[in-house]
Structure 1
Amino acid sequence: MSDNRSLWPPGHFDISYEFFPPKTPEMEAQLWDSIARLAPLKPKFVSVTYGAGGSTRERTHNIVARLAAETDILPAAHLTCVSAAREEIDEIVRDYRNAGVRHIVALRGDPPTGVGTKFEPHPRGYRSSTELVRGIRAIGDFEISVSTYPEGHPESRTIDDDLDALEAKIDAGATRAITQFFFENDVYFRFLDKARARGIKIPIVPGIMPVQNFKQTANFARKAGASVPDWLAHRFEGLDDDPVTRRLIAAAVAAEQVLGLAENGVREFHFYTNNRADLVFAICHLLGVRPVTEKAAA
Structure 2
Amino acid sequence: MSPTTESLNERVAHGSLEIGSPSKLRVSFEFFPPKTEKMETALWQTVKRLEPLDPTFVSVTYGAGGTTRERTHDAVSRIRQETSLEPAAHLTCVGASVAEIEEIANSYWVSGVKHIVALRGDPPDGESAFTPRADGFAGSVELIEHLKKMHDFEISVGCYPEIHPEAASSLADLDYLKRKVDAGATRALTQFFFDPETYLRFLERARAHGIDIPIIPGILPVTSYSNIKKFSAQCGMQVPAWLTHLFEGLEDDAPTRKLVASMVASEQCRILQRAGVTDFHFYTLNRADLVYAVCHSMGVRPKLGNGQ
Candidates 239, 242, 253, aligned match of 2:264:
253
Contact 2:117 2:156 in 1 (8 A): yes
Instruction: Name 1:81's counterpart in structure 2.
Output: 93
Contact 2:30 2:61 in 1 (8 A): yes
Candidates 112, 116, 135, aligned match of 1:124:
135
Instruction: Name 2:111's counterpart in structure 1.
Output: 99
Structure 2 CA distance for partners of 1:56 and 1:18, relative to 1, 3 Å: same
Contact 1:150 1:159 in 2 (8 A): no
Structure 2 CA distance for partners of 1:35 and 1:279, relative to 1, 3 Å: same
CA distance in structure 2 between the partners assigned to 1:44 and 1:58 by the alignment: 24
Contact 2:163 2:236 in 1 (8 A): yes
Letter in 1 for 2:167: S
CA distance in structure 1 between the partners assigned to 2:233 and 2:121 by the alignment: 17
1:175 aligns with 2:186: yes
Contact 2:20 2:277 in 1 (8 A): no
CA distance in structure 2 between the partners assigned to 1:182 and 1:29 by the alignment: 29
CA distance in structure 1 between the partners assigned to 2:25 and 2:231 by the alignment: 28
CA distance in structure 1 between the partners assigned to 2:67 and 2:303 by the alignment: 36
Letter in 2 for 1:233: T
CA distance in structure 1 between the partners assigned to 2:223 and 2:273 by the alignment: 22
Cα deviation, residue 10, structure 1: 4.4
Instruction: Name 2:67's counterpart in structure 1.
Output: 55
Contact 1:12 1:289 in 2 (8 A): no
Instruction: Name 1:185's counterpart in structure 2.
Output: 196
Query: What's the RMSD between the two structures over aligned residues?
Result: 1.7
Instruction: Name 1:213's counterpart in structure 2.
Output: 224
Cα deviation, residue 113, structure 1: 2.5
Contact 2:20 2:274 in 1 (8 A): no
Structure 2 CA distance for partners of 1:241 and 1:97, relative to 1, 3 Å: same
Cα deviation, residue 199, structure 1: 1.9
Cα deviation, residue 289, structure 1: 1.0
Cα deviation, residue 206, structure 1: 0.3
Instruction: Name 1:38's counterpart in structure 2.
Output: 50
Cα deviation, residue 288, structure 1: 1.1
Cα deviation, residue 76, structure 1: 0.2
1:72 aligns with 2:84: yes
Contact 2:65 2:125 in 1 (8 A): no
Letter in 1 for 2:244: A
Cα deviation, residue 68, structure 1: 1.3
Structure 2 CA distance for partners of 1:114 and 1:20, relative to 1, 3 Å: farther
User: What is the SS of the residue equivalent to 1:180?
Assistant: strand
Instruction: Name 1:232's counterpart in structure 2.
Output: 243
Cα deviation, 1:126-177, whole Å, max 9, x if unaligned, reads: 1100001011111101100000001000101211111101110011110000
Contact 1:11 1:287 in 2 (8 A): no
CA distance in structure 2 between the partners assigned to 1:114 and 1:249 by the alignment: 35
User: What is the SS of the residue equivalent to 1:122?
Assistant: coil
Cα deviation, residue 55, structure 1: 1.0
Cα deviation, residue 75, structure 1: 0.2
Gaps of at least 5 residues in structure 1 are: none
Instruction: Name 2:3's counterpart in structure 1.
Output: none
1:145 aligns with 2:153: no
| Identical residues among aligned pairs (%) | 54
Contact 1:15 1:269 in 2 (8 A): yes
Mean alpha-carbon deviation: is it higher for 286-295 or for 121-130? 286-295
Gaps of at least 5 residues in structure 2 are: 1-8
Letter in 2 for 1:53: G
Contact 2:20 2:276 in 1 (8 A): no
1:164 aligns with 2:203: no
Letter in 2 for 1:66: R
Contact 2:52 2:306 in 1 (8 A): no
TM-score (norm 1): 0.95
Cα deviation, residue 296, structure 1: 9.3
CA distance in structure 2 between the partners assigned to 1:170 and 1:142 by the alignment: 13
Structure 2 CA distance for partners of 1:138 and 1:295, relative to 1, 3 Å: closer
Cα deviation, residue 27, structure 1: 1.0
Cα deviation, residue 282, structure 1: 1.0
CA distance in structure 2 between the partners assigned to 1:55 and 1:159 by the alignment: 30
Letter in 1 for 2:30: E
User: What is the SS of the residue equivalent to 2:132?
Assistant: coil
Instruction: Name 1:112's counterpart in structure 2.
Output: 124
Contact 2:22 2:300 in 1 (8 A): yes
